[in-house]
Amino acid sequence: MSFFEYQNGHLHAENIPLQKIASAVGTPCYVYSRAAFETQWRTLDTAFGDYPHSIFYAVKANSNIAVLNLLARLGSGFDIVSEGELRRVLAAGGDANNVVFSGVAKSKSELEFAIGKGVRSINIESVAELERVQQVAEKLGVVASIAFRVNPDVDPETHPYISTGMDKAKFGVPMGAAYDAYQRAAALPNIQVHGIACHIGSQITKTSPFSDSLEIVLNLVKRLANKGIEIKQLDLGGGLGIDYQGEVPPSAQEYVTAMLNGVKKHGITLPIGIEPGRYIAGNSGVLLTKVEYLKHNESKNFAIVDAGMNDLLRPSLYQAFHRISAVEKNSTGEKMVFDVVGPVCESSDVLGYDRELDTQAGDLLAVMSAGAYSFSMAGNYNSRVRPAEVMVDDDKVHIIRQREEQEDLIRGESLLPE
């Protein structure tokens, strides 16, 4: 189901024409659908049936506090990777006890803040980090709840930049070292072993990598149980892909059923946690942009738009594909093949190569599937302000982040004294 569809030739977000939003807010801007976020989250939640589970939304996918608040209202937990993300969750009404803290380089101050707020689990990525958590918890006079993020060395068959579960990745404790690491954790006075975590990558389009990694994790759970170390929760990460370019990823039900079949095969009924980000947010948003110029070279046609790689980094960073659609269908024009390029002074500032479009200067284009890893990766390169973010709720429009002003770009900077 898509919440961005044409009605009488006009592309809508739910029941609002995108042209109307662009006229009111300007471009570039991100437009999200409340119904899309809620539907995606509920589809995952429902797939578990009555099996005990938690959904920890990956805040890095889209961290706007309106998005986080919407999910918190549904009962979502959150997967964070920084103190800043935890502060966002708390500002949005999230519960710290429903938060897992991942990431490979947690500082002492971040750990003090997270442990002090009572997060459910610190997902530890190295033995060195375990020692730091022990020191921080001892200083605070508390016992910290932890899980090790283990690395099962399973190929998720995705882009290497978003592959995190193989031996060469910076993430996680190697499976060969995990058993000893858990024994070390169990012996520390200010550490409580809570769970085991595993996340192998993102934009995964088949269930077999998930099943393969789960099998390895469950074998470790059994070994730990034989040693008297009880795991209370399986955090199986995220990574379920979406349709960007005709991919056919597993449905939520297929994804969850594969997990449940894996645990049942081993006779294990531990609560399961998952960390979806892209699956919930990816197709819940678009980036609106205006065509500033058309440029025709001998070998290329360019549609030069007002959104650039600073607004949407994925195509430049990952060579990621996003569909690009005309906001207003023009049946009288002639389609041409364009590279859709932005204003940033880099040759890599291309939102899409070789796109067949019927467009003219002044027209609006929608870059689809831009709800995840889009605004959250935006920056100010070339001293460009970051765009506004808008949430559509049926026939209502809410600005959930104002467009930055030029003055914001130098806020906090200062001249040298004479």
Rg (CA), the chain: 23
pLDDT at 168: 67
**Cα gap 163→156, rounded to integer Å:** 6
Name residue, tokens 């910076």: 170
Give the model's pLDDT for residue 332. 64
pLDDT exceeds cutoff 80 at 410: yes
The band of 167, judged by pLDDT with boundaries at 50, 70 and 90, is low
Q: What CATH number labels 4-32+282-410?
A: 2.40.37.10
The answer to whether the beta carbons of residues 175 and 219 sit under 8 Å apart is no
3-state secondary structure of 261: helix
Pick the CATH number of 34-281 from 3.20.20.10, 3.40.50.20, 3.30.390.30, 3.30.460.10: 3.20.20.10
Residue, of 200 and 290, whose pLDDT is higher: 290
How far are the Cα atoms of 7, 106, 195 from residue 121, in angstroms, in the given order?
46, 13, 8
Please give the structure tokens belonging to residue 172: 């996680």
Return d(Cα 280, Cα 237) in angstroms, integer. 14
Which residues carry out catalysis? 345
Q: Is the pLDDT of residue 170 over 90?
A: no
pTM of the model: 0.94
Domain ranges of the chain: 4-32+282-410, 34-281
**Mean pLDDT calculated for residue range 27-32:** 98
Tell me the pLDDT tens digit for each residue of 146-165. Answer: 999 998 877 545 444 444 44
Query: What is the model's pLDDT at position 157?
Result: 52
